[in-house]
Amino acid sequence: MKLLAAAALLAALVPAAPHGQSAPSASTGPSSGTGHERRGDDCARPPAAPEARHRTDGHARDRMDLSPAEAAAVETRLNRILDGLVQRGHGPSKSANQRRAAQITIPVYFHVIHSGAKGNLSNAMIQRQISTLNTSYGGGNGGADANVSFTLKAVSRTDNAAWFGDPERYEGTYKPRLHKGGKSTLNLYSTYIGGDLLGWSTFPWKYKSEPQMDGVTIHYASIPGGSIENFNKGFSATHEVGHWLGLYHTFQDGCSDQGDRVADTPAERDPTNGCPSFKDTCAAPGEDPVHNYMDYSYDTCMTSFTPGQGTRIHNVWTAYRA
């Protein structure tokens, strides 16, 4: 679905659909959890508020942009928590290498929301997505090993046409029913997502206020071998799980000194569309990180995280999910 630039700007002003709307009665499979995000068209400047970014090719990654003020508030609280843990002797080491040394192993409950045969992923498809997460976060496609791994604990299947057809509307209904585990457990939902949205997530600092809403949602056709052209290598899940682990987009705060709060991802003003051979939107050293999982590039372009992103993941995990 292609949207005009004016529509994209209007979308930036419209809040996400509220949680908690009731669903019509429908059969629900056995239980075995979420958040929101797009990949989108380039904007001339970083947004002043959360924005739906739309791609010229009709697909977007998510709606996980924060305003600079929102990101600053999150970082202030994160640093306060980490400093407090260090002072009490429970926090991460001052050494970045030591901080990332311990492996994080994350149990995954995979919730398949489908409508009959449509969207009813096979166990083999689900396992391919888990394998892709492990390869992505283990440095298997290039870049840094983030020392994060994922273990599939269980699969739930829910045949519900209403939930499948409009997951944003009904997530406040299905998530509390399906969600499993606690703050260190990933609930990964696959379903149909209309328009140009490929997935969404919750940030870790939101867990305390809405624990049952915690998790990641992906378009079922974005899994490895799926039917969405240019976005079918499973990296929509990699990208969304990055947010679930506390990473921002690489273009967060644009060309400002703060950026995405990771020193080794070069500053980037605009999200990437496609897979350009060269892109450099900021005067600071370094070309735009078009191959980074937290940009908006095609799946065929994405290959890596940086060591700094791995360190941030472990810091945020210590503060909010450990």
Which active-site residues does the annotation give? 240
Q: Which two tokens mark 157? A: 């299947």
**Residues near 14 by Cβ (< 8 Å), separated by ≥ 6?**
none
Q: Whole-angstrom Cα distance, residue 270 to residue 251? A: 6
199, 221 Cβ separation under 8 angstroms: no
Cα 274 to chain centroid distance, Å, stands at: 18
Q: Cα–Cα–Cα angle for 254, 194, 289, nearest 5°?
A: 25
Q: Whole-angstrom Cα distance, residue 306 to residue 291? A: 10
Cα 154 to chain centroid distance, Å, stands at: 21
Three-state secondary structure call for residue 110: strand
Q: Whole-angstrom Cα distance, residue 105 to residue 149? A: 5
Amino acid at 73: A
Helix (H) or strand (E) holding 5: helix 5-13
